[in-house]
Chains A and B, each alone.
Chain A
Amino acid sequence: MTCRLARSLLDAYLDSELSHEDHNQVTMHLSGCDQCQKEFESGNQLRALLTKRPQPEPSLGYWDEVTRIILARTIENDPVSQNRSDKTGSNSNGHSILFRPLISVIASLGLLFAALFIGANKELIAPIANSPFVEEESLTAGIWMVNGESSYTISPEDELLLTRGILLLAPPGPLSRFDAANTMIEAE
């Protein structure tokens, strides 16, 4: 065997990948050739250096943490598994998922109807206010009243009773409304 051939087989020889026959031939050549023997030894030493090198080993805490992160990035964010967990989840969860949008829709519709109702009333008032019908100022009551076909006015007596009623209905507070109502009753 020539040195060229022996060196071309040296990697396979080191990795024990040669046939029995080739292996024996390389062994024989190495025993009689210092240069190739030197080449073989340096290859063997390199292999030993690489395989015996210290390997960093992270802590057990790291393995737990990296596993938790991987599962959080995959299973916990997977829409398929999310659907499965929803289906197998508790009733209260299922209810809350259904009720939330339903309540939102109902609340939105309520607000919409309230806005439409108020808007419609304003439209009714506006033509009356602008109409040529009689707009009368009730001087005795001291307030503006709009009169339609059936005239309606508040007398001073009614106004007093109304004011007293509002004051009595109001909760007690720093303005002392009960006191104001009582003062009015006493003044009568």
Chain B
Amino acid sequence: MSESVPELVGRFSSGDQTAFAELVRRYRGRIYHLAFGILGNHLDADEVVQESFVRVFRRQKELANVRNFTAFLTRIATNYAIDLLRRQKAHAQTTDDPSSLPANVQLDLARRIKTPADTYRDRKVMEEIYQALSALPPRQKITAVMHDLQGFTKAEIAFALGCPEATVRSNLHIARAKLKRILKKRL
């Protein structure tokens, strides 16, 4: 029987490094998919995965007081993803070249990732969704990705973003309305 997450966190906070390695193995996929959903490209998702776990490691002693490790890690990853997203936006605004837009970069990289359903149609859908998402402000985008793509609850998103649940609801409502407009021909 595998060890529970609170047990692993307890062992890690008391100095057992092997527990940290196990936590990395258990959560790396979840953080990668969350980051890919927000940032839309493999390189940035990879950076979020690495940096999030490095930051958790540095806060090893704090973990003794953390009740929900998943929420704690998600918050760290989300904050880092927001930073990267803002950098992406800032970079995109400094140039008029459409090829430098994050959506195009992310789609180019997404094409290289082989999936069982890696067909032309899937890629086209993915391209349209990421382009639509990239048009949203960071917090609306993250709320939509976390809720509708990754299945996080509104309470979890509120904790990750450090805002009230009402703000999450509002952001989600606005994000959905915008996505509906952008993806109108698909709906």
Contacts and interface: CB of A to CB of B under 8 A. Distances in A.
Pair from one complex:
yes
Interface of A: 11, 15, 42-43, 45-47, 49-51, 53-59, 63, 66-67, 69-71, 73-75, 78, 80-81
Interface in B5-32: 15, 17, 20-21, 24-25, 28-29, 32
20 contacts: A46-B179, A46-B180, A50-B179, A51-B148, A53-B126, A54-B123, A55-B36, A58-B42, A63-B28, A63-B29, A66-B32, A66-B49, A67-B21, A70-B28, A70-B50, A70-B53, A71-B21, A71-B24, A74-B53, A75-B21
Contacts of A81: 17
Q: Please list the 8 inter-chain residue pairs (A to B) with the smallest Cβ-Cβ separation, ordered nearest first.
A: A56-B113, A74-B57, A54-B122, A50-B148, A45-B187, A70-B53, A75-B17, A42-B187
B168 to A, nearest CB: 11
**A42, A67, A73, A74 interface centre (most CB from chain B within 10 Å):** A74
Contacts of A54: 115, 117-118, 122-123, 125-126
Interface residues of B, number: 44
- Decide if the interface of chain B is mainly helix, strand, loop or mixed: helix
- Decide if the interface of chain A is mainly helix, strand, loop or mixed: helix
Given A11-B176, A46-B148, A75-B57, 5 more contacts: A55-B33, A57-B113, A69-B50, A70-B50, A75-B21
**B15, B21, B24, B151 interface centre (most CB from chain A within 10 Å):** B24
Contacts of A46: 148, 176, 179-180, 183, 187
A66 B186 CA distance: 36
A78 B17 contact: yes
B93 to A, nearest CB: 26
B54 interface: yes
A47 B129 CA distance: 11
Contact of B113 (A43, A58, A67): A58
Interface of B: 15, 17, 20-21, 24-25, 28-29, 32-33, 36, 42, 46, 49-50, 53-54, 57, 110, 113-118, 122-123, 125-126, 129, 144, 147-149, 151, 169, 172-173, 176, 179-180, 183, 186-187
